[in-house]
Amino acid sequence: DIDGVGHKYHLELELEDVLDKDSTVNCTAEVLYHLGNKNIAPDVQFTLEGELKNTDEADNVFYNRIKSLEKELVAENIPDNYGNVSPEMEPIHLLAWVASGYVIWQNSTENTKFQLAQIKHVKQVKRSDEYLEFDYKILLHEMLTQEIIPWQMTVLWHPQHGVEVTRDSRQPKQA
CB of 87 to another protein, least distance (A): 13
Q: Is 141 exposed, middle or buried (0-12, 13-18, 19+ CB in 10 A)?
A: middle
CB of 21 to another protein, least distance (A): 9
CB of 77 to another protein, least distance (A): 8
Determine contact, residues 88/69, Cβ cutoff 8 Å.
Answer: no
CB of 115 to another protein, least distance (A): 4
Q: Is 32 exposed, middle or buried (0-12, 13-18, 19+ CB in 10 A)?
A: middle
Q: Which is nearer to another protein, 129 or 175 (CB)?
A: 175
Contact residues: another protein, CB under 8 A: 18, 71, 74, 79-84, 115-118, 139, 141, 143-148, 173-175
Q: Which is nearer to another protein, 110 or 130 (CB)?
A: 110
Burial 69-100 (b: 16+ CB within 10 A, else e): eeeebebeebeeeeeeeeeebebbbbbbeebb
Please give the DSSP secondary-structure letter assigned to residue 73. Answer: -
Q: Which is nearer to another protein, 49 or 76 (CB)?
A: 76
In 3-state terms, what secondary structure has residue 95? helix
